[in-house]
Amino acid sequence: MRKYVIMGVQGSGKGTQSKLLCSAYSMVHISVGDLFRWHVQNHTKLGAQVKRTMNAGELVGDDQVEAVVRQRLDQHDWNYGFVIDGFPRNARQAEFFMESYDIDAVIHLEIPDDEVRRRVLSRRLCPNCGMDYNLIADRPSEAGKCDICGHELVTRPDDTPEALDARLHDYHEQTRPVLELFARKEPVVKVDAQPDADSVQASIRKALGL
């Protein structure tokens, strides 16, 4: 069984790399962002709390994040292991995680802030079917239209330059110290996230000895 945490600033490719790794080794990809979106879309009590928090432009509280992670991992459907993406984001969450679960390694995707801005500000979303696009590497066939359903594409509400600068600041202030905490107990492998997705995946597997 393999259990990994993948970390990196938004736009570093955590979701893409997690899915590639999980597909190759029959692991489960656990995206905390996806879990929150599920709760919001299904109008759960937690979803209502998360929606209020996000609408106020604030980060979801540690208690809510930890509850969602614990609930998901308690399902024990990860017979061959998991890759958790989007968690932990600060020292308290990291301490909770290390006390509750053993992991094999932390994968840190490293990428300069300028490249993050270039990638994130090129993202587009279909509000109808949820398909994601990137105007750099994954353009729709017809400019501004979803290939799947033909709906007009939009920019995510939180993909503005101002919101991105705030997220980068939060990442450097809160998340990087998490790596130092993990490094005291777990192997932390650093991977350059700037090359193409397949090259980054090959570097991850090599660093993990897979």
Long-range contacts: 179-187, Cβ < 8 Å, 24+? 179/7, 179/106, 179/108, 181/91, 181/94, 181/95, 181/98, 182/5, 182/94, 182/98, 182/106, 183/106, 185/98, 186/98, 186/103, 186/104, 186/105, 186/106, 187/104, 187/105, 187/106
- The active-site residue, picked from 72, 89, 119, 124, is 89
- The active-site residue, picked from 14, 72, 119, 124, is 14
Catalytic annotation on 206?
no
Dig out the tokens for 25 from the structure.
């080794």
- The active-site residue, picked from 3, 72, 119, 167, is 167
Q: How many angstroms separate the Cα of 100 from the Cα of each of 14, 61, 69, 93, 97?
A: 23, 18, 11, 11, 5
Catalytic annotation on 167?
yes
Residue 62: DSSP 8-state: H
- The active-site residue, picked from 52, 139, 156, 185, is 156
Catalytic annotation on 52?
no
Catalytic annotation on 3?
no
Instruction: Judge contact between 198 and 116, C-beta under 8 A.
Output: no
Catalytic annotation on 156?
yes
Point out the residues that are catalytic: 14, 89, 123, 156, 167
